[in-house]
A = this chain, B = another copy of it.
Amino acid sequence: MVHHVHVFIQLKDGVLDIQGKAVAHSLLSLGHSSLQSVKVGKYIQLWIESETAASAKEQASAMCDDLLVNGIIEQFRIEVEGE
């Protein structure tokens, strides 16, 4: 069956998030004064043909290592629907 996999990628703690700072600056300029901080990352959805959710998760993790995630500066979290 086809599993719907959600991958959330963000910069590791300690890596300067320029894009996040730019977005925060813009939102504050627009009057959103309750905003404390912003982090910008990627949200990738994968549909993977696999017998089990666990195997889909493993394959998604391999895709992250191979292409989707820059392990030097980024970290990721994977959720499989129905897991």
Contact = CB atoms under 8 A, between A and B. Distances in A.
Main secondary structure of the interface of A (DSSP, over half): strand
Contacts of A38: 44-47
Contacts of A67: 23, 26-27, 30
B62 A32 contact: yes
A36 to B, nearest CB: 4
A41 B42 contact: yes
A34 B71 CA distance: 23
Interface in A18-60: 23, 26-27, 30, 32, 34-50, 59
Interface of A: 2, 8-10, 23, 26-27, 30, 32, 34-50, 59, 62-63, 66-68
